Amino acid sequence: MTTLARKLRATDYFTLGWGTMVGVGWLVIMDDWLLRGGALGTVLGFVIGGAALLPVGWAYGKLIIAMPDAAGEIAYTSAAFSRPISYATGWMMTLVYFIVCPWEAVAVGRIAGYIFPALDSLELYRIAGRPVYLPHLIIGLALTALLTVLNYRGVRLSATFQNWTSFGTLALFIVFVSIGVSRGSPANFPPLFTHTPLISILLVIQIVPYFMNGFESVGKAAEEASPDFRGSGFFRAIWMAIFVGTLFYASIVAAVAFVAPWRRLTGEKFMTAVAFQQAVGSRWIVNIILAAALLSLFKCFNGSFVAASRLLFGLGRRGMIAARAGTIHPQHQTPSLAVLGVGLGTAACMLLGDAILVPVTEVGSVACAIGWSATCAACLALGRGTLPAGQPGMITLSAAERLVAGFGLLVGVAMALMKMVPLVPGHFTVYEWIALGIWIVLGGIAYRGSTAANR
pLDDT digits (tens, 9 = 90+) for 327-347: 999 998 999 999 999 999 999
Cα separation of 211 and 183, whole Å? 28
Tens digits of per-residue pLDDT, 221-256? 999 999 999 888 999 999 999 999 999 999 999 999
Q: Are 61 and 76 in contact (CB under 8 A)?
A: no
Q: How far apart are CA 215 and CA 238, in angstroms?
A: 5
- Quote the CA–CA distance of 194 and 192 in Å, as a whole number: 7
Contact predicate 62/379, CB 8 Å: yes
Asked whether 316 and 453 are in contact (CB, 8 A), the reply is no
Please state, in angstroms and rounded to a whole number, the distance separating the CA atoms of residues 380 and 427: 29
Residues 185-203 have pLDDT tens digits of 889 999 999 999 999 999 9
Residue 280 confidence class, pLDDT cut points 50, 70, 90: confident
Query: Which residues fall within 8 angstroms of residue 182, CB to CB, at 6 or more apart?
Result: none
Confidence of residue 17 (pLDDT cuts 50, 70, 90): very high
Report d(CA 30, CA 274) in Å as an integer.
11
Residue 454 confidence class, pLDDT cut points 50, 70, 90: low
Per the CB < 8 A criterion, the answer to whether 193 and 37 are in contact is yes
Confidence check: pLDDT of 286 > 70: yes
Confidence of residue 356 (pLDDT cuts 50, 70, 90): low
Mean pLDDT (whole number) for 111-122: 86
Position 110 scores a pLDDT of 84
DSSP per residue, 335-378? -HHHHHHHHHHHHHHGGGGGGGHHHHHHHHHHHHHHHHHHHHHH
Q: In Å, how far from its chain's centre is CA 133?
A: 26
Strands 130-133 and 123-127 turn out to be antiparallel
Residues 6+ apart with CB under 8 A from 413: 369, 373
Say what the pLDDT of residue 226 is.
Answer: 93
Q: Say if residues 86 and 311 touch (Cβ distance below 8 Å).
A: no
Q: What is the pLDDT of residue 420?
A: 85
pLDDT of residue 182: 86
- The burial class, CB within 10 Å (0-12 / 13-18 / 19+), for 445 is exposed
Contact in structure between 148 and 175 (CB atoms under 8 Å): no
CA–centroid distance for 430 within its chain: 23
pLDDT for the residue 207: 84
Count of other CB atoms within 10 angstroms of residue 115: 12
Task: HSE, CB side, 13 Å, CA atoms: give it for residue 59.
Answer: 32
What's the whole-number mean pLDDT along residues 112-122? 86
Q: How far is CA 280 from CA 189, 251, 395, in A?
A: 17, 18, 54
Phi-psi group of 418: left, alpha or beta (phi > 0 → left; psi -120 to 50 → alpha; rest → beta) = alpha
For 396-425, what is each residue's pLDDT tens digit?
888 899 999 999 999 999 988 888 888 777
Q: Cα separations (Å) of 424 from 99, 288, 416, 429? A: 25, 39, 11, 12
pLDDT tier for residue 100 given thresholds of 50, 70 and 90? confident
Higher pLDDT, 86 or 231: 86
The overall longest dimension of the chain from CA atoms, in Å, is: 68
Q: Which domains does the chain have, with CATH numbers?
A: 10-71+94-357 (1.20.1740.10)
Q: Compute and round to an integer the Cα radius of gyration of the chain.
A: 21
Angle between helices 232-259 and 155-181 (to 10 degrees): 30
Report the pLDDT value the prediction gives residue 44, as an integer from 0 to 100. 96
Percent of the chain residues topping a pLDDT of 90: 55
Q: Where are the alpha helices (DSSP H) in 182-231?
A: 197-205, 208-212, 217-220
The pLDDT, as a whole number, for residue 218 is 93
| pLDDT (mean) for 88-93 | 93
**Position 358 pLDDT exceeds 70:** no
Containing 382, the helix (H) or strand (E) segment is helix 357-382
Share of the chain above pLDDT 70, in %: 95
The pLDDT mean for the chain works out to 88
Torsion of CA 345, 346, 352, 358, to 10 degrees: 120
